[in-house]
């Protein structure tokens, strides 16, 4: 096969393999997480560091770049293989080649459909025709609090699930722990957390907020909040103390940090490393309206304070 023909096929293979290879990496990350009891993979630790240092846009493009690099490897191997072969004598009806072709097609389709949410975009709402100022004019009210979860929350949750589905009756009969309250994770009927009564950070620690499409949950929305210098220091100390093997957390696993919005538990991410970037993302599968109203409320609170 000529160099030009092999190059064209390799380019087509590269374009076709970007998403499947990205999905394959995502699948490996999931297997890693399950195998090591919830600890995120080194790749996602790197993405988290990029997110903290440079923001969500840099993180997105780093993911795209890594997917392209991984897809380029088989494309180059295909190119080298084709350049060294003479296909003039290959029988087009050869059963062995048909089996290989169909096997590759099935593998490609499986990897393509494995995780359709690989392609996401970080787009401000203003670009979608929903100005934040309009929402602020309605003076929406909202509350935002960051609280620690119980250090043995995973075990407590497993014990509750052992009694069957986490119905309202099961939660009502759940053991009460002093200093904590049992809360269901918003949008997840099978996830609960014992959330501490003490508030670590609140709306007073936020300077500004912006709503955007979610990087990880396609079809949902999130709010990025910028902290005051005092809030940044508190969040840095909190995450440093309660990360794996932190000063107040000798465990191999980080402590869960509850994000409570309007009295509901929006999310409870695990603290994996110190966060000292002055900004954090509030997730929780918000609708567009909910995310805009929350961001508007946070900004409105600061506007009133000025």
Token pair 């603290």 is found at: 271
What does the pLDDT read at residue 52?
Answer: 57
Q: Give 123's pLDDT tier (boundaries 50, 70, 90).
A: very low
Measure the CA–CA gap between 142 and 235, rounded to whole angstroms.
21
Close Cβ partners of 278 (under 8 Å, ≥ 6 residues apart): 226, 227, 229, 231, 232
- Which of 93, 114, 135 terminates a domain? The answer is 114
**How high is the mean pLDDT of the chain?**
76
Measure the CA–CA gap between 211 and 287, rounded to whole angstroms.
11
218-222: long-range contacts, CB 8 A cutoff, minimum separation 24: 218/116, 218/117, 218/120, 220/285, 220/286, 220/287, 221/125, 221/286, 221/287, 221/288, 221/290, 221/291, 221/292, 222/281, 222/282, 222/283, 222/284, 222/286, 222/291
Whether residue 156 sits in one domain with residue 37: no
| CATH code assigned at 273 | 3.30.1360.200
- Which of 114, 133, 155 terminates a domain? The answer is 114
More confident residue, 95 or 294: 294
What does the pLDDT read at residue 122?
Answer: 31
Q: Which residues pair with 207 in a beta bridge?
A: none
Q: Which two tokens stand for residue 114?
A: 């494995």
Q: Give 196's pLDDT tier (boundaries 50, 70, 90).
A: very high
Domain total in the chain: 2
More confident residue, 68 or 130: 68
- Which of 67, 95, 114 terminates a domain? The answer is 114
pLDDT (average), residues 2-20: 79
Q: What is the pLDDT of residues 140-194, one digit of tens each?
A: 567 889 999 999 998 998 888 887 788 888 888 888 999 999 999 887 778 899 9
> Which among 254, 262, 220 is positioned nearest to 238, based on CA atoms?
254
Whether residue 290 sits in one domain with residue 236: yes
Q: What is the DSSP letter of 294?
A: H
What are the backbone angles phi and psi of residue 25, rounded to the nearest 5°? -65, -40
Q: Flag whether 80 is in a domain.
A: yes
Length of the chain: 306
Q: What is the pLDDT of residues 69-80, one digit of tens each?
A: 888 888 888 888
Q: What is the pLDDT of residues 265-279, one digit of tens each?
A: 888 888 877 887 777
Q: Flag whether 188 is in a domain.
A: yes
Q: 89 lies in which domain range?
A: 3-114
Range with lowest mean pLDDT among 21-25, 77-81, 119-123: 119-123
């Amino acid at each position: 096969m000529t160099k030009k023909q092999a190059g064209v096929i390799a380019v087509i293979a590269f374009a076709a393999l970007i998403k499947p290879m990205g999905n394959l990496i995502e699948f490996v990350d999931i297997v890693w997480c399950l195998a090591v009891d919830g600890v995120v993979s080194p790749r996602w630790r790197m993405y988290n560091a990029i997110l903290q240092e440079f923001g969500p846009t840099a993180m997105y493009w780093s993911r795209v770049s890594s997917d392209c690099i991984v897809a380029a490897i088989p494309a180059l191997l295909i190119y080298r293989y084709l350049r060294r072969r003479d296909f003039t004598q290959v029988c087009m009806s050869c059963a062995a080649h048909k089996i290989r072709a169909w096997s590759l097609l099935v593998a490609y389709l499986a990897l393509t459909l494995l995780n359709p949410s690989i392609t996401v975009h970080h787009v401000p709402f203003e670009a979608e025709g929903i100005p934040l100022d309009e929402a602020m004019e309605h003076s929406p009210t909202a509350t935002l609090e960051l609280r620690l979860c119980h250090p043995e929350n995973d075990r407590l949750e497993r014990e509750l699930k052992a009694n069957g589905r986490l119905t309202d009756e099961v939660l009502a009969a759940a053991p009460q722990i002093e200093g904590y309250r049992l809360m269901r994770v918003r949008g997840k009927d099978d996830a609960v957390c014992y959330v501490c009564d003490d508030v670590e950070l609140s709306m007073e620690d936020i300077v500004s907020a912006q709503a955007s499409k979610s990087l990880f949950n396609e079809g949902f929305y999130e709010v990025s909040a910028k902290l005051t210098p005092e809030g940044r220091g508190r969040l840095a100390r909190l995450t440093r103390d309660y990360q794996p093997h932190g000063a107040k957390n000798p465990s191999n696993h980080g402590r869960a940090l509850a994000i409570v919005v309007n009295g509901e538990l929006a999310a409870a991410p695990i603290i994996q490393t110190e966060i000292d970037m002055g900004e954090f993302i509030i997730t929780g599968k918000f609708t567009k309206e909910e995310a805009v109203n929350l961001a508007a409320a946070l900004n409105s609170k600061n506007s009133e304070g000025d």
